[in-house]
Amino acid sequence: MQFNAKQKKPMSSAGAVAQSIAAKFAIVGISAATGIISARALLPAGRGELAAMILWPVFLANTLTFGFPSALTFQMRSTPQRASGLLGTGFLLAFLTSVVAMAIGFSFMHSWIPQYSAKTILYAQILLVSTPLTSLLNVGRGAFLARGDFGIANALLACSPALTLVTLVGLFIAHSLNPYTAAFAYAPAGAAPVAWMTWRLWKVFRPTLKEFRTSARQLFSYGIRSYGIDLCGTMALYVDQAVVVRFLMPDMMGVYVVALSLSRMLNAFHTSVIMVLFPKAVSQPPEIVRAMTGRAMRMSTLLTGCAALGVATFGGPLLGLIYGAEYRTAGPVLRVLVAEVVLAGATLVLGQAFMALGRPGIVTALQVTGLLFVVPLMLVLVPRYGIVGAGVALLISTTVRFLFVLASFPLFLKMPPPRIWPQWEDAFFMAKTSFNAVFIFPKKLLLAGDGD
């Protein structure tokens, strides 16, 4: 069965972004609820132990993507007649890389977190078996994005945290919630979404391994060049936890994770825009891609910045109110982390221009160079300044990556970088899009329902 991009009427970019933002905020709400339950029930030490157990499947799976999810989106959009072979190959490669990730995690766990109990380390190793779920989910979402099924891609993101929340609530009601039972509520929650996703993709694409070598070459060719972008995104989200867990005792790890979770809620605007921008910009002329990327970066950064200002202003009391008085001490690092989130999101949005123009290797080289700052900085700053040092290391690294991405527009694309600061026309466009999303789009849905 061949994939035909015309089978599905494409949603407008503004509508897709509005839908994605709504889905992201639903996910943020679910994640906030799970974070509040686990933080209040487990207290800082228990929350730190939980973080040490559930970090590795997601971190390792996203570290070893080799760019396959974005490569699958690009290649399926560029050569839709080969979608079945590309998807089948993508699934197999994702599974194989996840097996490698499991082996790596199992081998270094004892030496990396020796300050944790033997039981915590054992559970962390057991939970590595859920690594393939993350890898397969990433690839499957890439296929839905290539087809323009943003609603399904968003639903897949929401399913796992929703199942986790339901499980945590059940454990809490049954008075059985502890770091170890909570870990099993988090890690294997992707099994049901992956099973449903696989069934849906089979119906649409009929994945196959025919012409495996040709499909693998296509995916590797683009994926390796875009891998640095995926790697930088993963490192920006998880490398700080992977490093600080080496130096911090469970209680301080729990405080840091709570501050990090609150700051990462601000990612909703940028990640929603990125999910829509990349597939929409593929095959567009360079100037159009630049204009799309610039507007997307300015609007998403403006929204994120406004939210970040509120979080930074009321950070300490907010942490105490939401998560408990034990976490109020995380206020200083929270202010650093929200600044880093705003800048990191802008960097990732700008990077989509190079992805869409078939030049992912440029952003890979530049972002990896910036990322090389973060680990040495953490190794120096975390032992000396604790969790605040981790936040400062992230902010410095992200600043370097942002400057590199801006400089790469004239150096490699031979065009000036997009405007950074919002303009009045951006505000007008944002207001118009919001009006359409609130008033016009629901009316169209009702009319479509009447027609049925």
pLDDT, residue 399, reads 92
Q: Which of 93-97, 263-267, 370-374 has the lowest mean pLDDT?
A: 370-374
| pLDDT, tens digit, 9 for 90 and up, residues 81-125 | 888 888 999 999 999 999 999 999 999 998 999 999 999 999 999
Q: How far apart are CA 233 and CA 78, in angstroms?
A: 24
pLDDT, residue 252, reads 93
Residue 446 pLDDT exceeds 60: no
Mean of the pLDDT values across residues 215-239?
80
pLDDT, residue 427, reads 66
**Please, are residues 112 and 72 in contact by the beta-carbon 8 Å criterion?**
no
pTM of the model: 0.75
Q: How far apart are CA 76 and CA 4, in angstroms?
A: 10
| pLDDT, tens digit, 9 for 90 and up, residues 147-190 | 777 777 778 878 888 999 999 999 999 999 999 999 988 877 77
pLDDT, residue 177, reads 93
- Distances in whole angstroms, Cα of residue 260 to Cα of each of 22, 43, 241, 394, 420: 22, 16, 9, 11, 26
- Distances in whole angstroms, Cα of residue 151 to Cα of each of 3, 11, 18, 19, 30: 18, 10, 11, 7, 17
pLDDT tier at 272, thresholds 50, 70, 90: confident
| pLDDT, tens digit, 9 for 90 and up, residues 324-349 | 888 988 999 999 999 999 999 999 89
Using alpha carbons, select from 374, 141, 352, 388 the residue that is nearest to residue 236: 374
pLDDT, residue 281, reads 79
Residue 275 pLDDT exceeds 60: yes
Q: How far apart are CA 378 and CA 394, in angstroms?
A: 8
